[in-house]
């Protein structure tokens, strides 16, 4: 079953992609090859293949949370470009109230 240029134009319209006549005539045979490949995959016997969402098992890669001492406030503020009232001073964001 060969795809026609009008069918490719309809697909482009549904996808809201504007295609020129040259693009339509070039894409029709390319899409036909893709559809044939999908049809071949669909013919495979997958009755013994369990459904999966990922090709590899998912594992948690996060480390456990461990409470550790942090940098002292004075030392952290000493490295800041500007500090005020024991906090980092940053530029005000427009439209925010003080």
pTM for this entry: 0.47
Helix axes 21-42 and 5-14, enclosed angle (nearest 10): 90
Q: How many domains does the chain have?
A: 1
pLDDT digits (tens, 9 = 90+) for 17-29: 999 999 999 999 9
> Is residue 9 in some structural domain?
yes
Work out the pLDDT band at 96, boundaries 50, 70, 90: low
> Is residue 38 in some structural domain?
yes
pLDDT digits (tens, 9 = 90+) for 70-94: 999 999 999 899 999 989 998 888 7
Q: Which two tokens stand for residue 91?
A: 């530029």
> Is residue 82 in some structural domain?
no
Q: What is the CATH number of the domain that holds 35?
A: 1.10.20
To the nearest whole percent, how much of the chain has pLDDT over 70? 96
> Is residue 52 in some structural domain?
no
> Is residue 57 in some structural domain?
no
> Is residue 49 in some structural domain?
no
- 47 DSSP 8-state letter: T
**Domain housing 37:** 5-42
C-alpha 90: how far from chain center: 32
């Amino acid at each position: 079953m060969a795809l026609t240029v009008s069918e490719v134009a309809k697909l482009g319209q549904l996808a809201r992609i504007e295609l020129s006549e040259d693009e339509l005539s070039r894409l029709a045979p390319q899409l036909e090859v893709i559809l044939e490949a999908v049809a071949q995959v669909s013919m495979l016997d997958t009755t013994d293949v369990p459904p999966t969402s990922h090709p590899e098992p998912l594992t948690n890669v996060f480390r456990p949370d461990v409470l550790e001492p942090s940098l002292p406030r004075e030392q952290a503020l000493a490295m800041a470009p500007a500090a005020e009232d024991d906090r980092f001073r940053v530029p005000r964001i427009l439209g925010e109230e003080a």
